[in-house]
Amino acid sequence: RALTINTGSCRSRVWAAFAFCSAKRAEGFPALALLWTSLCLLFADVQRGGDTSTGAGPAHPSTTRAQDAGALKLSLAEIYRQRRKMRTCGALLGAVLVLPIIHAVCPDKVPGLQPWTPGFSEAHHVTIGYGRKVLLTSSATVHSIEILNGGKLVIADTNLPILLRAKHILIGNKGELHIGSADCPYKGNLTISLYGRSDDSDEEHSYFGRKYVGVGTGGILEIHGQKKLSWTFLNKTLHPGEGNENSYHFERSWGNRGIIVHIIDPKTGEVLHNDRFDTYRSKDESRRLAQYVEGVENGQILAMVVNDEGSNNLEDTARKALSKLGSRHFHRLGFRHPWSFITVKGDTASAVEDHAIYQGTKASSEARSVRAFHSGYGERFTITTVSQWVQEAEWTEWFDRDDERGSGDWEKLSDLHKAFPERLCSNPLDIEAETLDGIPANMTGEVFSKFDKNYGFVCLNKDQPQGICHNYRVRFLCGKLVRPQASVSIDTHSNCSILELADEAQGWWPGDRLVVASTDYSMHQAEEFSVLPCPICTSNQVKVEGKPQFLHMGEMVDGVDMRAEVGLLSRNILIRGEMEAGCYGTEACKFFSFDTFGGHLKVEHGFKGVHIQGVEFVHMGQQSMGHYPVHFHMNGDVDQRGGYDPPTYVKDLSIHHTFSRCVTIHGSNGLLVKDIVGYNALGHCFFTEDGPEERNTFEHCLGLMVKAGTLLPSDRDSKMCRDITDGAYPGYVAKPRQDCSATSTFWIANPNNNLIDCAAAGSEETGFWFIFHHVPTGPSEGMYSPGKTEHTPMGRFINNRAHSNYRAGMILDNGVKTTQANAKDKRPFLSLIGARYGPHQDADPFKPRVPALIHHFVAYKNQDHGAWLRGGDVWLDDCQFADNGIGLTLASGGTFPDDDGSRQEVKNSLFVGESENRGMPTLDSRTWGPGGLDHSGRTLPRGVDFPIRGMQIYDGPINVQNCTFRKYVALDGRHTSAFGFRLNNSWQSCPNNNVTDITFDSVPITSRVFFGEPGPWFNEMQMDGDKTTIFHDVDGSVSEYPGAFLVKEDNWLLRHPDCIDVPDWRAAICSGRFAQIYIQARNPANLNMKMVKDEYSEHPLELVGALGKRNHYQQYQPVVTLAKSYTVHWDRAAPAELTVWLINFNRNDWITVGFCYPKGTNFTIISDLHNRLTKETRKTGVFMRTTQREKMSHTHQARGYYYWDEDTGLLFLRVQAHNDKDDFAFCSVKGCERIKITAKIPKGSGPSDCMEMAYPKYAEMPVVDVPMPKKLPRSRLPQASEHFLEIKLESYNTRFFHIKEDFAYTEVNGKKIYQSEDGVHVTVLDGHTGKVLDMKGFRNAVLMGIPAQIENYINSLKDESIVMFTSKGKLVTRGPWTKVLEKLGAEQNVKLKDKLAFVGFKGSFRPDWVRLAVDEERANLHQVLPMPIVRVMKL
């Protein structure tokens, strides 16, 4: 029976152990897996053993007791088996019980450690080795410490701070340094101070250098400080100068008689208790008062006042109690005497008191006491007590007893008393006089004999220059009966602030330092604060010393999270560099006045284990290569792939005021970098170095105030870039914005790294920069094949944010120069160069493309760009852009023909132009000016006239879908727009830029789009890309015309007769099918090209080429309308070699092109396919000459035809695609289809400009191939008051043989109004609704005479009217009547012709859409007007 019971006990204990191990195993304790498995087996075995008594399961004790003793006979073997089982159970349970204790054993409590106190000697070289394990228990100074060969150093966790000074600490092979552990964080205060100069005479280590903590091969470094909140967000906006200032005010009057007492906390100024004692009514109240003040604790503040009356039943006990507190007047308190008193209990010298005598019912009296108290940390509060009788006053009615007749106007007080005995007081407080029509006496200029409250008012006629006074009336200010008033006020004044945080401030203690990030354009608005004690603060509040100088947002602003980051700078473990007073002996002194030779921590390949957590690094890093605050150098895989379990990490670090970066990962993979604050650093802060670094994770890291450094060209600012030319080829001239100037908070050299929940809150250049090394550099050379990183898929990029950066919040572009400087390329090694990103599966360009996904990226207050992302595919989702110079630019690969097109898109995102985060006025007037919906003052990104844009369309193709644009408002002089285009663009513009499902919120319809115009920032708009801009409004959510294309208003290669002008956008709404041809010209390559659409020969498009004139070839990239005919001309002799690339052509798409050549030219023309991946070109056909132009349409892939019209000098080709194309590719699935023309041109040939000969011979009548879309009805437009009003005016004549007939009409929203008579016809529209208000015709006879009739008509129209003119017949083109047009906005001295169409405006300003068209045969205008017409504010 006993054995069975014991076995049952073992079962219960195994059950408990089993449950414990199961839970811990689920929590991620792999070490418990084996024990858990053993317990499972044991449980099964014990369960079986328990079945011996019943055969059906564990025996119940009652069952066991009921059994016969003979039934429990066990064989000796069975007894031994059960005993072994019990011993096994006990052993395993012992392991279970001991295991948590083992995990919690702190490193400094492990048995076998020898106490170590090395003392203080900078000459002491310490070596800890050969199995020696020591415990540092107190502060020490040594020359150096080297731990190796089984040596172990542990820092004791004591109540006293420890300072360990050394020139370096080297943890060599089999050496260990332990400061706390993951399960037992270090709780004390430890400082490791690295000292020494760069020019010390000591021999420096060949790998680690000087002034370092180094972890060598086989070394272990475990540092685990206290767990503290690393960083969070402000949850309430912090205003400049705002402190923790509160006030308390207590006031009483009638009905609260007696003595009022407040008890106040001297540390906080908080009222602890208050009470009133009616010592007028009762002696009991007097005795209660005495007891009350006796019960107040010493040190507490008493503030006391009398209200109304408090002396009638005041006894000696109360008088003595108050005298004991320090009162000198309370013992003689009389009837209704005002009395006030402030004192600190137990300190009679602190008392302040005032006492006054009651002056009766018609006179005021007051007793006032004021005392200031200091509560510490710069805080103080002032207590004011007031006891008074208040006399209020009111003016009487006006009295006029006398007038000016006789000697003058006499309004004596005595006479007025007799005349109005019940309506005047006997002792007035003041007097006023005025004329009967309300002019104050002192403004009449007259002289007064008497003007006195006690006498009255007298004006004598004899004293006046004009001999007579005005008739005056007077009134008097009379006092009312007094009333009692008592008050106690407490005003808190502090040099501190309360920060409301988004998270609990775990581990933030008084004395800790914090940094609050800027939320404006300048990163220098970040501010540091010290934490103060705050017993009244909630868990997510901290009190800090000082008041902010700048505005720090703590809220969502216009839908964008603009909360300032708040980072912790202090940790209980500090590793610091000891610094000299100033810079010395290095090249860095040219740029920095301070010492930049800080300490550094470096981890060598083959280390055994490194985990660093809860540490502050300050004055770390050196302006020399390889010496950074935290540096993992050529470590390979540092996670489970590399055999590290647990994986290597650095967490909860505060790295600030550093001299070279924050965390550097060089040739290392799989490192976890989490909860790091990097602040005030030189050079890239979070830095991946050579390109092979992959699978590293930056999670919840904050970087701010990142400044330029000298190490790499990309670190340097403009001055450094020009001055530091090491490694450059002789003759190199720096171009800082191209070669250098890329200082970034996160510098990512390989896209296969993870960035999650990180913030880049202020850099001299960029927040996040993805950069590409075509080949790995430095020690990483050869670690991957050329070009691999450009094709590597991006890791996770989720929930990151960037603000207060100069160049951009994020850049995905560029590479670094991986070759040494040479005569061909003089730039230094690792200068910035071009590179293009095209991610593919397995980084293999022959495999499918893989999109780079950017989710919930927030970018605000970046001066240039929120994000500039080049290459494909890049997809953004749920992102926010606000207050950036330019919100987002998606750029294609741009390395044609090597790039294959891309699918770049932004979806479900928000763009805000000018938010309610207005910033603060700055000393730089160039960045402060009017803006926003109310045009109030605000900080601006680049300059007061910089054209702010939300989505900048560059080349494409791109897709913008389901995005909201908010608060983009243009000014006259600042072309702000939701959609805009890259300025001064020489590159192509793709017709497959698609925009759909766009919402505009607080964006005037005139500010939705702007195509640009010559002027500031836009320059002359003469670059090729400026002229060819286009995008597709798929659903009409931008233009109100679904399916329309928006093109530049003067690009006649794309226009047709039904296109609708949008003057406010400098655009036209068109329809059609569009593609591109790239024309590459060689021999020569420096020509200007002119392209003409045969339908509009009078409107050629002139292109200068996308490449520099010194290139060996030139490339022209026009967008063309398909199924149309064109001619091409040159400003000099035509190129000997032309290659025509078909871009965005689908199968069977075609155009006809005539190229101009000199007479006598001979041609060889072939077609081929170029494979961009293999760089191979395959000939596909030849072109034969034909004498029949129409035969060109019979072209097929193997054979085509060209037509050479030598009379005009035009070589005609039908350019047609023969292969299918993927949706987002530039070229066909088989390659880029091309036509190559080789011409043998006669020497001495002149310019190849065939315009005069070609036209009108090849001119064609304009034809609309794709009908224009219908405008969306108002019912399908968003519920906004703004919309477009479509108008069309046409004046023309037609001929049928010898019959000529004139027509003219005005069309408003599809309704035509025909002009019936010769002359002009005027149609007037309401400028707010677009409704037709009136129509009137004026015959030529009226126009020829005096223009009064038409002038009067125009003058009679109400302001803000739209006035439209058409003409019919032979127009009177001169005469006074034309001035009417000038009044409505036409240019002065306009020259008219027979046909006129005019849209004008009657009002105080001239809208952009005022237009005048004149012609001899046909004048027409077709445009949209914004409704309602609103004046644009002038900048």
pLDDT tens across 617-646, in order? Answer: 999 999 999 999 999 999 999 999 999 999
Which tokens is 208 given?
């680690």
C-beta separation of 324 from 282 below 8 A:
no
Q: Indicate the DSSP class of residue 331.
A: G
CA–CA separation, 1182 vs 1193, rounded Å?
A: 15
Q: Is 1276 exposed, middle or buried (0-12, 13-18, 19+ CB in 10 A)?
A: exposed
Phi, psi of 392 (to 5 degrees): -90, 160
Prediction pTM value: 0.84
Q: What is the pLDDT of residue 244?
A: 61
Which tokens is 220 given?
């272990």
Radius of gyration in angstroms for the set of CA atoms belonging to the chain, rounded to a whole number: 44
| Sequence-ordered list of residues with C-beta below 8 angstroms from that of 205, at least 6 positions apart, any chain | 168, 170, 212, 214
CA–CA separation, 144 vs 169, rounded Å?
A: 6
| Sequence-ordered list of residues with C-beta below 8 angstroms from that of 783, at least 6 positions apart, any chain | 667, 690, 691, 692, 776
Residues lower than pLDDT 50 in the chain = 1-103
CB atoms within 10 A of CB 1391: 9
CA–CA separation, 319 vs 328, rounded Å?
A: 10
DSSP codes, 643-707: T-SSPPEEEEEEEES-SS-SEEEEEEES-EEEEEEEEEEES-SEEE-SS---S-EEES-EEEEEE
Which amino acid, one-letter code, is at 63? T
> Residue holding tokens 């005009």?
1208
Which amino acid, one-letter code, is at 304? M
C-beta separation of 755 from 772 below 8 A:
no
CA–CA separation, 948 vs 938, rounded Å?
A: 14
- Cα 131 to the chain's mean position, in Å? 54
Q: What is the pLDDT of residue 104?
A: 62
Secondary structure E strands in 774-900:
797-798, 801-803, 808-816, 832-833, 852-855, 858-860, 865-870, 874-877, 880-882, 886-891
Q: What is the pLDDT of residue 57?
A: 38
In SS3 terms, 598-649 reads as: CEEEEECCCCCEEEEEEEEEECECECCCCCCCEEEEEEEECCHHHCCCCCCE
CA–CA separation, 153 vs 172, rounded Å?
A: 12
Q: What is the pLDDT of residue 452?
A: 95
Our CA dihedral for 819, 821, 826, 830, rounded to 10 degrees, sits at: 50
Our CA dihedral for 76, 79, 80, 85, rounded to 10 degrees, sits at: 160
Q: What is the pLDDT of residue 343?
A: 97
C-beta separation of 693 from 719 below 8 A:
no
C-beta separation of 1074 from 1054 below 8 A:
yes
Residues in the chain, total:
1435
The string of pLDDT tens digits covering residues 714-767 is 999 999 999 999 899 999 999 999 999 999 999 999 999 999 999 999 999 999
| Beta strand 190-194 pairing with 1361-1368 | unpaired
Q: What is the pLDDT of residue 16?
A: 47
Q: In what side-by-side order are the strands of the sheet with 301-307? A: 271-277, 258-264, 301-307, 339-344, 347-355
Secondary structure E strands in 377-446:
379-390, 393-395, 408-412, 430-435
Q: What is the pLDDT of residue 567?
A: 98
CA–CA separation, 873 vs 856, rounded Å?
A: 17
Cis peptide before 730 (omega within 30 of 0): no
> Residue holding tokens 């929590």?
27
Q: What is the pLDDT of residue 42?
A: 41
- Cα 2 to the chain's mean position, in Å? 75
Which amino acid, one-letter code, is at 1144? N
- Cα 893 to the chain's mean position, in Å? 26
Q: What is the pLDDT of residue 901?
A: 72
CA–CA separation, 21 vs 6, rounded Å?
A: 22
CA–CA separation, 908 vs 887, rounded Å?
A: 15
> Closest Cα to residue 515, out of 660, 655, 652?
655
- Cα 222 to the chain's mean position, in Å? 37
CA–CA separation, 1115 vs 1113, rounded Å?
A: 7
The string of pLDDT tens digits covering residues 840-854 is 999 999 999 999 999
C-beta separation of 598 from 204 below 8 A:
no
Instruction: Name the maximum alpha-carbon separation found in the chain.
Output: 148
Which tokens is 55 given?
């055969």
1361 bridge partner residues? 1326, 1402
> Closest Cα to residue 1121, out of 991, 1242, 1011?
991
Which amino acid, one-letter code, is at 143? H
C-beta separation of 382 from 301 below 8 A:
no
CA atoms within a 13 Å half-sphere pointing along the CA-CB vector of 440: 4
DSSP codes, 1096-1114: GTTS-EEE--SS-TTSSSE
Q: What is the pLDDT of residue 6?
A: 39
At 225, is the secondary structure helix, strand, or coil? coil
> Closest Cα to residue 330, out of 319, 338, 321?
319
| Sequence-ordered list of residues with C-beta below 8 angstroms from that of 679, at least 6 positions apart, any chain | 515, 526, 567, 569, 654, 655, 656, 657, 702, 703, 704, 705
> Residue holding tokens 């493309």?
849
Q: What is the pLDDT of residue 99?
A: 42
CA–CA separation, 519 vs 517, rounded Å?
A: 6
